């Protein structure tokens, strides 16, 4: 039986107090909906239907090129109505799994059990951990069998005392679900078509409803406010920190690290406070990362030290490098082994060869820097002429004096020495000192201007 997933993502999210659709609010750097879609794909779904409403065009624009079917729920008439909009896009011989776009941490293992339990009938996810306020209560009979779900606003005082609540997911054959959906009414406190009412309709059909209980409250926690979003963020980061610790990574404080993507670490890696890892980051053996660093889509080879307050983006760092503090590697920065990039140095779209150093207050952009080059403080490559980027080439064993300006396109030949304060706009000969400064003049008897009056 092929699996098709319906994701309910039409909610406006009024309690978020934001113009951004709720399912696009970021969790660990990615939209809530992206986490749910990843889970659906891990389950092997052959089709995914996303029901959108508020901000639908914006939601779709955030997932370009993905194999999704989008269905609009133009009027917010309840979760049952939302599923009714999606079912025509699902084959009749499929098994349907209904997920919520604002419940991002549900594990694939739990959903696998739900699918197995609902293959021939109906299965729902429930939880009896935490506060049940606001959730539909699971009503069972004396023998413990599920009979129905009553929504919070429709529940009696006795029903509100029930601790088991519906966690928002269900699995059933498509044809059966379509039949039950047709039997829904809006005769309730909210005048909506509740998806949860299909449980009572299934029981009336003689179908035994299976309940799969969540083992962790966070696995089925949804987002309805910024407070709940922040709580989920901390839980997700706690889990990420636990995985790193189990893998042998040293964290100065597990509560002060954010992983917003994929982080792979080798042996004997240490990470100081308040570091953020975004996109895909790979860290080699023995790497040390100081406090308050941001690494985004970066590869760092073994033995490198990144001092505090550095920002690295789309860069490759070789072995045994030393970076920072307060250094920035921009996209296209590629450092060979044993390179030093010091405080307030920026590197962009440049390759820097083995053993080279730029230790202070420099900008290296669109450049090819050879091995064993020393770049003095205040040096800049003038790589942009206002219309296009030009390349600077610094060959091996060059010494660039402080406050040098290299006007691209230009080649600094092997073994060149550039005098401090020089502006170099022509290629230099190898193994020579090149100085390009304005003539220094002193005027005897010169007096500064004075204000009149």
State CA 405 to chain mean position distance: 39
Report the distance separating Cα 136 and Cα 114, nearest Å: 18
pLDDT at residue 85, rounded to an integer:
95
The pTM for the full model equals 0.90
Report the distance separating Cα 358 and Cα 362, nearest Å: 7
Instruction: Give me the half-sphere count of Cα atoms (radius 13 Å) on the Cβ side of residue 337.
Output: 6
Query: Among residues 31, 89, 29, 77, which one has the least CA distance to residue 281?
Result: 29
Identify any residues that bridge with 375 across adjacent strands, giving them in sequence order.
358, 400
Domain boundaries, the chain: 3-220, 226-434
Q: Do 3-220 and 226-434 agree at the fold level?
A: no
CATH, domain range 3-220: 3.90.550.10
- Name the fold adopted by 226-434: UDP N-Acetylglucosamine Acyltransferase; domain 1 (2.160.10)
Is the bond leading into 325 cis (omega within 30 degrees of zero)?
yes
DSSP string computed for 49-114: EEEE-TTHHHHHHTSTT-S-EEEE--S---HHHHHHHHGGGS-TTSEEEEEETT-TT--HHHHHHH
pLDDT at residue 448, rounded to an integer:
87
pLDDT at residue 30, rounded to an integer:
95
Report the distance separating Cα 250 and Cα 253, nearest Å: 9
Identify any residues that bridge with 384 across adjacent strands, giving them in sequence order.
389
Our answer to whether residue 35 is catalytic in this structure is no
pLDDT at residue 369, rounded to an integer:
98
Report the distance separating Cα 423 and Cα 432, nearest Å: 16
pLDDT at residue 55, rounded to an integer:
85
pLDDT at residue 181, rounded to an integer:
96
pLDDT at residue 20, rounded to an integer:
93
pLDDT of the chain, 453 residues: tens digit per residue? 899 999 999 987 889 999 999 999 999 999 999 999 999 999 999 999 999 987 889 999 999 988 999 999 988 899 999 999 999 999 999 999 999 999 999 999 999 999 999 998 999 999 998 888 889 999 999 999 999 999 999 999 999 999 999 999 999 999 999 999 999 999 988 899 999 999 999 999 999 999 999 999 999 999 999 999 999 999 999 999 999 999 999 999 999 999 999 999 999 999 999 999 999 999 999 999 999 999 999 999 999 999 999 999 999 999 999 999 999 999 999 999 999 999 999 999 999 999 999 999 999 999 999 999 999 999 999 999 888 999 999 999 999 999 999 999 999 999 999 999 999 999 999 999 999 998 888 899 988 888 886
By CB atoms closer than 10 A (0-12, 13-18, 19+), residue 161 is: exposed
């Amino acid at each position: 039986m092929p699996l098709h997933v319906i994701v309910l993502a039409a909610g406006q999210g009024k309690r978020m107090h934001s113009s951004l659709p709720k399912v696009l609010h970021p969790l660990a750097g990615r939209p809530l909906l992206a986490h749910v879609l990843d889970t659906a794909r891990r389950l092997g779904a052959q089709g995914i239907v996303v029901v959108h409403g508020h901000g639908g065009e914006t939601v779709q624009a955030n997932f370009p090129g993905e194999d999704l079917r989008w269905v609009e729920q133009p009027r917010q008439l309840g979760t049952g109505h939302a599923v009714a909009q999606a079912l025509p896009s699902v084959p009749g011989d499929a098994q349907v799994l209904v997920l919520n776009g604002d419940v991002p941490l549900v594990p694939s293992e739990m959903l696998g059990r739900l699918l197995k339990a609902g293959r021939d009938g109906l299965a729902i996810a429930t939880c009896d951990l935490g506060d049940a306020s606001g959730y539909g209560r699971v009503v069972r009979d004396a023998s413990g069998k599920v009979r129905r779900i009553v929504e919070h606003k429709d529940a009696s005082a006795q029903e509100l005392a029930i601790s088991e609540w519906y966690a928002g997911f269900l699995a059933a054959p498509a044809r059966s679900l379509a039949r039950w959906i047709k039997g829904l009414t809006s005769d309730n406190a909210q005048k909506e078509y509740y998806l949860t009412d299909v449980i009572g309709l299934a029981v009336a059909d003689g179908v035994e409803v299976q309940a799969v209980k969540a083992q962790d409250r966070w696995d089925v926690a949804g987002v309805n406010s910024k407070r709940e979003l922040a709580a989920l963020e901390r839980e997700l980061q706690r889990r990420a920190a636990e995985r790193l610790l189990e893998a042998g990574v040293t964290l100065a404080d597990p509560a002060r690290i954010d992983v917003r993507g994929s982080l792979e670490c080798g042996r004997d890696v240490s990470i100081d406070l308040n570091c953020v890892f975004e996109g895909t980051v790979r860290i080699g053996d023995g790497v040390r990362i100081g406090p308050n660093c941001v690494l985004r889509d970066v590869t760092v080879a073994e033995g490198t030290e990144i001092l505090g307050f550095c920002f690295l983006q789309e860069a490759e760092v070789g072995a045994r490098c030393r970076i920072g503090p307060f250094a920035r590697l921009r996209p296209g920065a590629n450092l060979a082994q044993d390179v030093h990039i010091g405080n307030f140095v920026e590197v962009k779209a440049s390759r820097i060869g083995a053993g080279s150093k730029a230790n202070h207050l420099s900008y290296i952009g669109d450049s090819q820097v050879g091995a064993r080059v020393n770049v003095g403080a205040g040096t800049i490559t003038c790589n942009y002429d206002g219309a296009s980027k030009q390349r600077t080439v610094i060959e091996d064993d060059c010494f660039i004096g402080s406050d040098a300006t290299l006007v691209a396109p230009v080649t600094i030949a092997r073994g060149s020495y550039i005098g401090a304060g020089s502006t170099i706009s022509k290629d230099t000969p190898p193994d020579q000192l090149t100085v390009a400064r304005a003539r220094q003049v002193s005027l005897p008897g010169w007096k500064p201007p004075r204000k009149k009056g």
